[in-house]
Structure 1
Amino acid sequence: MKKALILAVSCLMLIGLSACSGNSDSNRNKNNSAAGNSTQKDTPKSQSNTSEASNAATNAEADAAPQELEPLDDKPKTIVVSILAATDIYKQAKAEYEALHPNTKIELKEFAPKGGMISGPDVEKYIKSTTTEVLSGKGADLFAFTTVELPIDKYVNKGAFENVDEWMKRDAGFDPQQYQMNIMEGSKMNGGLYMLPIEFFLEALYGDADGIKKAGVTIDDKNWTWSQFAEISKQLADKNGHTYSMNFLPPEAMIDNLVSDNYNRLIDGANGKASFDTPFFTELLTDVKEMYNEKELSGDAVEYTKSYLYYSLMTSPSDYLLRLGMYFKDGKVYQKPHAADQKSGISFLVTNQIAMNANSEVKRDAWEFMKFLLSEEMQQAGYSGFSMNKALNEKAIEDVKKNGLDKNVAAKGGGASAEATDENLKVLREMLSEAGLRNIGYETTVQKIIGEEVKAFFSGQKSADAVAKLIQNRVTTYLNE
């Protein structure tokens, strides 16, 4: 790819190594020997000092260790959960949690009209009122995020949400080994976990493995970057009957991926700064546009068989096998490329998450409800994506191996799917355990602004510089509101 994409993915990582040192056993023995020359009269005082120092060290360790959570009490209380429209899952969670905790009421604070369709004005009203509440330190105890784009990055940067990572560490009843902690680790922002994932989708590229091999191209998807992807796209385009290297991906979606992978370079939310009016971003725009002009990439709804690669999400073991057999005869899953300064790994999207108000007066109980949403009972209640519970994901894999594809999923593929072989399912297991790169492109207001403005550039209505300045102004204004 050209200069901007190469710059975008070629940032060098500086790794600092530090070492600590302490007195050796020989030095301690030497000092103890010297201390033996002291008089018998001094010995009790020395022992007393040693005991005091030991006690002080023990107390310091105790203070540094996370304090365990206090037990739940039986006092009547209400946990308010803010949500645009209560889903069946949240209604079920409310009923079952209240049955387990008779003195606790879960209030689902909905903004959508009762029994009516959610309109654009409804959504805008919800975003505005929720943001006002969150940033003023008021509002609900918990905020459930499903399909509506809220300025999550702003909430986190303003310290409005509780770091639930600390609650996990303090809760002796929370067993990290039960959960997809790689998804939680990949969801951290500003060094903490402020949005607790409830379910997620995997993100990957399905490819024509046989066609790529015949084209004489080797893809090391465990390590490939966006600049390598650009070079490979040139080699693959318009060969062996394939017009494009990848299609079904509009240019604004391509930009979305690149911005997501270089988010920290372009957006400094904590300090209210953005870097879009720079050669880095304008050349990024022009280079992506050239890839579409040269028909290396396509956003048209053409047959996927006209390209070597096909970007897709996967939501379950059945969905994974369906896509593996439906897109290409010899289909293979490839990791999505990443920036050079990112660790290699599988990318994912979080589709359901919940946050705790940092100013809630019922944090202890709010955390218990959040944890209940992760329980095996709730995780198998009908979520639409992969579970945060590892045992349930494994059960779903074994089920598809034993019983075949889910009927509702299979109906979408017209009978085409890959077999549930040990080899195919091993790939899925590895993806679930290795997923760690979160695509935040569909979640933040910043990304929404970018998606709206870049369309004018790709349609030829505005120049790259003009679009970059518009994005810079809008994002800067948003970050400093």
Structure 2
Amino acid sequence: MIHLKKVGVFATLSAVLLVSACSGNSGGDSKGEAKSGKKTVVVSVMTKDRFLESAVQKFEESHPDVHIEVKEYKAAKPAAEGGMSMEALSLADVEKYVQSVTTQVISGKGADIILMNEMPQDKFVAKKLLVNMYDLMAKDNSFDRNALYANILKASQDGDGLYVMPLSYSLDLVRGDTELLKKANVPVDKNKSWSWMEFKEIAKKLKQQGYDGFGNLSPTELLWDYIEDNYSQLVGQGKPGFDSDLFRNMMKEIKLMYDEGMLNEGLSGFSSTSGTGKSAFLLAGIYSPEEALKMPSNMDYFPKPSASGKKSGVPFKFNYSLGINSKSDVQQEAWAFIKFLLSSDMQASPNLMGFPMNKGAVDQKFNEVLQKFKNGTLNEQTPRNGGVSAATPPNMLPDGETAKKRIEDIKKMITEADVRRSSDMKVLMIAMEEFKSFMSGQKSAEEVSNLIQNRVKIYLNE
């Protein structure tokens, strides 16, 4: 699995690229044709990964009349021992992939199944380019919808329809140093939502004690969060709202926090080895049951501050999500493959990154992780998609009681996850590109908001 471990927008994009860089050439320039009398289902992904390759092999063994053809935009370079390299994809790669696939699907072509992580989902749904999977579920008596998390499904809807099926997801949270907060005498309730303006007041108190608020947050990342929190007002129904006081005030709030020193860009204040340092918080969503335990006892998960502070529940992001092309001639076969990917066996695969949609697979993975923890093998180096993850230092692991409690807390968070964080990557890139000139003082908030408004309007009307 490939993560982008760079500061700034690349750190934020690590979650976005998590799957595209290791799940799915042309990106799906044509639908499948009959192959030796079989029906062919074409799947468009950024780069292939072991989870998908294994799934294709197993599915074809049990469905001899169907061939799954995976079209990848950019092949991963071979690594040692026959694995795949951990080479990160650039933003240009992702943007070209999105543009290529979007053009194909809008023109009535494209693959039968599309990796939707970076796709402009709103545009696809508005143009009726995707199949409503609830319709397919209703006709399939063999599909057990109760095996999946109902809250995740509901939050993944567009209107009353489910046009994109999440296979896995991550929880969008932050890590907080509870010992540091206690030492600084700055209480923060981990069970209560809060806004960035409330964080600003906390950061002031921390600064008085010689501490920083966040250890790895750039202005563009913060803008990303602000836009996602207000996405329906800024981009809803294809009508951009960037030329507004709402957006201009967002930019001003962000700039003020950095100008006043409430936020600092970079990683200088946070210790990744001990979990302690000068910074109270670190952007770090939960991408897997194993990762949730690789954090010392003095750290805990907190809600990520929002631009409004009004949202309840736990926000999540898709790690792996698929849509079915409404122009596909093999919709039933495409649904059969997606249904197979949601089975408990496939969902429990160690190659599927993120939390599975299948409830039984989540329990199984947590049980496996807890057993590793008890056996003392959780911090061993483990192979992953051809690479090797670094061993976790002992001081980065919690004590036994904390491990058990953390698992129960995260299971509860999963059942409460009801805020899907999503947006059109192209819109975000336009906003962040123009926003830099405001942060540097080269242009006013009015000038930048106007530029973003015009560029986004042109893009949405394409």
For the superposition of Structure 1 and Structure 2, which TM-score range results when normalised by the shorter chain? 0.7 to 0.9
Partner of 1:77: 39
| TM-aligned CA distance change 1:266 to 1:362, over 3 Å | same
Which one of the candidate residues 144, 149, 163 is aligned to 1:194?
Answer: 163
Residues 199 and 351, structure 1, Cα contact 8 Å, conserved in 2:
yes
Which one of the candidate residues 387, 394, 418 is aligned to 1:436?
Answer: 418
| TM-aligned CA distance change 1:342 to 1:121, over 3 Å | closer
Provide, for residues 48-76 of structure 1, a one-character-per-residue CA deviation record: whole Å limited to 9, x for no partner: xxxxxxxxxxxxxxxxxxxxxxxxxxx84
Which one of the candidate residues 299, 322, 332 is aligned to 1:331?
Answer: 299
User: Structure 1 CA distance, aligned partners of 2:308 and 2:249?
Assistant: 18
SS of 1:201's equivalent in the other structure is strand
Partner of 2:57: 95
| TM-aligned CA distance change 1:204 to 1:84, over 3 Å | closer
Partner of 1:172: 141
Question: What amino acid is aligned across from residue 60 of structure 2 in structure 1?
Answer: E
Provide, for residues 83-126 of structure 1, a one-character-per-residue CA deviation record: whole Å limited to 9, x for no partner: 23322222222221111111111122233368688777765553
Structure 2, unmatched stretches of 5+, are: 1-36, 79-86, 271-276, 382-388
User: Structure 2 CA distance, aligned partners of 1:454 and 1:114?
Assistant: 33
Which one of the candidate residues 409, 412, 422 is aligned to 1:427?
Answer: 409
Partner of 1:185: 154
- Following superposition of structure 1 onto structure 2, how do residues 448-459 of structure 1 map, counting pairs within 5 Å? 448-459=429-440
Residues 233 and 296, structure 1, Cα contact 8 Å, conserved in 2:
no
Q: Aligned pair 1:129/2:91, yes or no?
A: no
Residues 211 and 308, structure 1, Cα contact 8 Å, conserved in 2:
yes
- Following superposition of structure 1 onto structure 2, how do residues 327-366 of structure 1 map, counting pairs within 5 Å? 330-338=298-306, 340=308, 343-366=311-334
Partner of 1:86: 48
Which one of the candidate residues 235, 250, 253 is aligned to 1:287?
Answer: 253
User: Structure 2 CA distance, aligned partners of 1:290 and 1:92?
Assistant: 50
User: Structure 2 CA distance, aligned partners of 1:167 and 1:179?
Assistant: 15
Q: Aligned pair 1:311/2:311, yes or no?
A: no
Question: What amino acid is aligned across from residue 290 of structure 2 in structure 1?
Answer: S
Which one of the candidate residues 472, 476, 479 is aligned to 2:453?
Answer: 472
Question: What amino acid is aligned across from residue 137 of structure 1 in structure 2?
Answer: G
Residues 217 and 235, structure 1, Cα contact 8 Å, conserved in 2:
no
User: Structure 2 CA distance, aligned partners of 1:434 and 1:124?
Assistant: 33
SS of 2:294's equivalent in the other structure is helix
| TM-aligned CA distance change 1:362 to 1:341, over 3 Å | farther
User: Structure 2 CA distance, aligned partners of 1:406 and 1:435?
Assistant: 28
Question: What amino acid is aligned across from residue 438 of structure 1 in structure 2?
Answer: R
User: Structure 2 CA distance, aligned partners of 1:316 and 1:369?
Assistant: 23
Partner of 2:444: 463
Query: Which segment drifts farther, 246-255 or 387-396?
Result: 387-396
- Normalised TM-score (structure 2): 0.79
- Following superposition of structure 1 onto structure 2, how do residues 144-163 of structure 1 map, counting pairs within 5 Å? 144-145=115-116, 149-163=118-132
SS of 2:103's equivalent in the other structure is helix
Q: For residue 406 of structure 1, report the CA deviation from its aligned partner.
A: 5.0
Q: Give me the identity figure in percent.
A: 34
Q: Aligned pair 1:401/2:370, yes or no?
A: yes
| TM-aligned CA distance change 1:416 to 1:177, over 3 Å | same
| TM-aligned CA distance change 1:372 to 1:247, over 3 Å | same
Residues 208 and 309, structure 1, Cα contact 8 Å, conserved in 2:
yes
Q: For residue 253 of structure 1, report the CA deviation from its aligned partner.
A: 0.8
User: Structure 2 CA distance, aligned partners of 1:110 and 1:187?
Assistant: 25
| TM-aligned CA distance change 1:128 to 1:246, over 3 Å | closer
| TM-aligned CA distance change 1:424 to 1:128, over 3 Å | closer
Question: What amino acid is aligned across from residue 66 of structure 2 in structure 1?
Answer: T
Partner of 1:416: 396
User: Structure 2 CA distance, aligned partners of 1:473 and 1:301?
Assistant: 35
Provide, for residues 414-460 of structure 1, a one-character-per-residue CA deviation record: whole Å limited to 9, x for no partner: 6421124232222121122222222225x532122222221222233
- Following superposition of structure 1 onto structure 2, how do residues 98-117 of structure 1 map, counting pairs within 5 Å? 98-112=60-74
Larger Rg: 1
| TM-aligned CA distance change 1:341 to 1:78, over 3 Å | same
User: Structure 2 CA distance, aligned partners of 1:139 and 1:384?
Assistant: 26
| TM-aligned CA distance change 1:91 to 1:445, over 3 Å | same
User: Structure 1 CA distance, aligned partners of 2:158 and 2:330?
Assistant: 24
Residues 318 and 406, structure 1, Cα contact 8 Å, conserved in 2:
no
Residues 186 and 436, structure 1, Cα contact 8 Å, conserved in 2:
yes
| TM-aligned CA distance change 1:229 to 1:169, over 3 Å | farther
- Following superposition of structure 1 onto structure 2, how do residues 216-255 of structure 1 map, counting pairs within 5 Å? 216-226=185-195, 229-242=198-211, 244-255=212-223
Residues 209 and 332, structure 1, Cα contact 8 Å, conserved in 2:
yes
User: Structure 2 CA distance, aligned partners of 1:232 and 1:174?
Assistant: 50
For this pair of structures, how many residues does the alignment match? Answer: 397
User: Structure 2 CA distance, aligned partners of 1:472 and 1:234?
Assistant: 32
Q: For residue 309 of structure 1, report the CA deviation from its aligned partner.
A: 1.7
User: Structure 2 CA distance, aligned partners of 1:129 and 1:369?
Assistant: 24
| TM-aligned CA distance change 1:170 to 1:215, over 3 Å | farther
Structure 1, unmatched stretches of 5+, are: 1-74
| TM-aligned CA distance change 1:161 to 1:209, over 3 Å | same
Across the aligned residues of Structure 1 and Structure 2, the Cα RMSD in angstroms comes to 2.6
User: Structure 1 CA distance, aligned partners of 2:58 and 2:214?
Assistant: 46
Residues 201 and 348, structure 1, Cα contact 8 Å, conserved in 2:
yes
User: Structure 2 CA distance, aligned partners of 1:124 and 1:227?
Assistant: 29
Q: For residue 357 of structure 1, report the CA deviation from its aligned partner.
A: 0.6
Residues 165 and 193, structure 1, Cα contact 8 Å, conserved in 2:
yes
Question: What amino acid is aligned across from residue 159 of structure 1 in structure 2?
Answer: K
Q: For residue 277 of structure 1, report the CA deviation from its aligned partner.
A: 1.1
